[in-house]
Structure 1
Amino acid sequence: MVLSYYLLKLPYTVIWEVRELFNLNKDVMLYCANALDYQIFASVQKHLPPLKIIAKDKKAQQELAAIGVSSKVYPVFPKGVIMCRQAGYKFPASRMKKVGMRHGAYTFKPFANSKGYNLLDHFYMTSSREVERAQAVGITCAKAVGFPKLDPMFDGSVDTEQLAALAKGAGLDDSKATLLFTATWNDSGVSAISHWYDKLDSLTADYNILVTVHPWTKDEIKQKIKNTKQVFFIDTADIVPYIQLADVCIGDTSSVLAECCALEKDMVTFTVDDGKRTVQEVKQLIKEFSIQIDQFDQLAGAIKQALTKPQHLAQARTKANKIMFDQLDGKAGLRAANYLKELFPQLNQTNN
């Protein structure tokens, strides 16, 4: 458990309980650490009355305001709280109902402390296999719903006209295949971004290049990518439609690979040494559903292989998708919303 939980528990709980006594805790609210949390929740929100938003801090409030979302800055004292992460310690009143859900598909790194998860009444995971893994380490609040972030790609919300507009905005050349590069945090110990971030210019003559990286990636790395001519840096929370534009996705151990797999994209991955964030089951899945290479000079051949034999690893992707998502039917948000309505009956009403 993080130290702030113990520091917050008494003062936060006293204030919350006094407010509860006078019926001042009225709203079920969504806690957002950034704009990505809001975007991830969108496919759940569509099945619920509008939720008021709690921003983690002023920076998060500004991010949300930039996309037209008003919010109150934490600390706030809601009747109940929903979050796209595991941050129950910020709301330590034990009688407050709390729900968390994944902001990245499946668990590509080891589970955090089970005590932190178990502060929550529910934590929505992306598959029954993930729930089994969670239960094995003592997490008791897990429920499988799927990954709502992917729903728009399977329920018809994103159409060909929208994708064409994105492609035009990214400056994609119809005569070239499109590569999407992704990487986990550069200091995670399991990132391969150092292999390619300063070499993208060698590929732009032959391919369209899209890039998305972990938000914590060093600024100098991001700036190098942004400064590379004919490379489009995806600087938005909603990367899924850009994945759909790609012919081949290139990565390491980032959970974005799960999203690429769900969208049936051929993948090339750089091998990385095991670190404290390595999950052996996930490492094996990546090995099975992608063409693996060790160095940048092997990339050109791997890309050609992926483009000429696009169905070569289709069976492995299907297997991985069953493990990571159970089903990809565009209804994960609905399943999450139904669980929320069970826990928070007021969400069955027309107004929250």
Structure 2
Amino acid sequence: MNYLTATKNKKYLMYISQNYSYAILRPIQAAILANGGEVRWFLQGVAVNPNFLKKEEKRLNTIEDIHEWKPDATFAPANLIPTFFPGIKVGVFHGFDAGKLDKKGNNDHLKARGCFDLYCTQGPNTTIPFKALQRKLGYFKVTETGWPALDRLFDGITETPYTNKSDTRPTLLICSTFSKRLSLAPKLYEQIKHFSETGKWRILMQFHPKMPTELVSKYKALSNQNLTFIETDDVVPLLKSADVMLCDTSSVLLMFLVQRKPVVTFCNNAPAEHLLNVTDPNKVEEALEQAFTYPKTLMKNIESYCQELHPYTDGQSSQRVLNAANEFLQSNEKLKPKPLNVIRNFKMRKKLNYWKW
């Protein structure tokens, strides 16, 4: 059965707490609307800018509004979601597993926190551990779908707002995470300043939204005809516009990599054969020069890694997510009860100031 036909007249809520979540959920919204469903948005917290909502996108402002509207399913690119929302809760992830560890040394990406009914995983290296958790815990289902945020990478459109046909230089995209310990930004300033002055490459720069403002200002001051600093909630056009990326441990490097393009990392915490990792600032330029040649062995390693990370290049992951949600809704599958999570649920209710039961 094609469960997309079950979308008609159903209601789907998009739950976001960060600006980058707009770009993750909009491909799912497009699939829903194309198949006759309804969509609403709920923006949680001050980190989300409501001005990024498009004119035609409809918002629910309170938890009471959500209960009155009664969504059949809520999609969230987050680790947590209120369990007291109506309908099923679908986790679609806010990024890839970049190997980051929590304070206890555990992989923070591969956790089930008692909130979701369905996880839509990105590829085998996410699906396999979550399937193991599914068998162990029993209160959620796992379906491999690919990641909706990447659908536009494979839509065949090559021109973006950052494309410059008159500039034939290779394009370098520099991205960085915000963590002082992991970020390349405080450590490679002199090298990047040098790149911006020599003009060997056309450089685009974009930082994590939580990057300290003093670092953002410092790098903005480097802007010239060779380097453009960009602040955006949507990195996909940037990823499509560059030939090579310079990054650290930010999971955005994996979004770039699935295009089968090389990434040079500085002090990556999980260096491997699909990356060109350097630990000496003076070796960065040499590594970038190598990356721009697209070495055969490196490209072969990238392809092998992408088959585990995100094998889908058809731009249809959002359709598969919607299909998985509808299948779950129609299956009436009996799962174990979610854990009570008393403290976590209390904190969530307090954050949202909602005390009805």
* TM-score with structure 1 setting the length: 0.76
Q: Residues 303 and 107 of structure 1: is their aligned pair in 2 closer, same or farther, counting only changes over 3 Å?
A: closer
Q: Residues 66 and 336 of structure 1: is their aligned pair in 2 closer, same or farther, counting only changes over 3 Å?
A: closer
* Residues in 1 aligned to 2:110 and 2:288: alpha-carbon distance in whole angstroms: 39
Which residue is 2:19 aligned to? 35
Which residue is 1:259 aligned to? 255
Q: 1:99-148: per-residue Cα shift (whole Å, max 9, x none)?
A: 111121345432368451x3211121201321212344556433211111
1:224 aligns with 2:226: no
2:108 equivalent among 111, 121, 126: 111
Verify the 8 A CA contact 1:40 1:148 in the aligned structure 2: yes
1:179 aligns with 2:172: yes
Q: Residues 62 and 44 of structure 1: is their aligned pair in 2 closer, same or farther, counting only changes over 3 Å?
A: closer
Q: Residues 63 and 124 of structure 1: is their aligned pair in 2 closer, same or farther, counting only changes over 3 Å?
A: farther
Verify the 8 A CA contact 1:181 1:249 in the aligned structure 2: yes
* Residues in 1 aligned to 2:322 and 2:222: alpha-carbon distance in whole angstroms: 42
The offset of 1:241, in angstroms, is 2.2
- Structure with the bigger percentage of helix: 1
Between stretches 52-61 and 290-299, larger displacement belongs to 52-61
1:101 aligns with 2:86: no
Q: 1:156-185: per-residue Cα shift (whole Å, max 9, x none)?
A: 3xx23x33x4224xxx86232211111222
* Residues in 2 aligned to 1:46 and 1:238: alpha-carbon distance in whole angstroms: 16
Q: Equivalent pairs: percent with the same residue?
A: 22
- Aligned partner letter, 2:29: Q
Q: What residue ranges of structure 1 are gaps of 5+ in the alignment?
A: 1-25, 275-282, 346-352
Q: 1:168-214: per-residue Cα shift (whole Å, max 9, x none)?
A: 4xxx8623221111122223x33333222454221022211111222
Q: Residues 67 and 235 of structure 1: is their aligned pair in 2 closer, same or farther, counting only changes over 3 Å?
A: farther
SS in 2 for 1:216: coil
In the TM superposition, 1:17-166 aligns within 5 A as 27-48=11-32, 49-57=37-45, 60-65=48-53, 69-75=57-63, 76-77=66-67, 78-79=70-71, 80-88=73-81, 90-92=82-84, 96-106=87-97, 108-109=99-100, 110-111=107-108, 114-116=111-113, 118-136=114-132, 140-156=140-156, 159-160=157-158, 162-163=159-160, 165-166=161-162
CA RMSD of aligned residues (A): 2.6
* Residues in 1 aligned to 2:243 and 2:38: alpha-carbon distance in whole angstroms: 37
- Aligned partner letter, 1:64: F
Which residue is 1:315 aligned to? 300
* TM-score with structure 2 setting the length: 0.75
* Residues in 2 aligned to 1:70 and 1:263: alpha-carbon distance in whole angstroms: 32
Q: Residues 28 and 148 of structure 1: is their aligned pair in 2 closer, same or farther, counting only changes over 3 Å?
A: closer
Verify the 8 A CA contact 2:260 2:299 in the aligned structure 1: yes
Which residue is 2:345 aligned to? none
Q: What residue ranges of structure 2 are gaps of 5+ in the alignment?
A: 1-9, 101-106, 331-357
* Residues in 1 aligned to 2:202 and 2:25: alpha-carbon distance in whole angstroms: 30
Verify the 8 A CA contact 2:176 2:249 in the aligned structure 1: yes
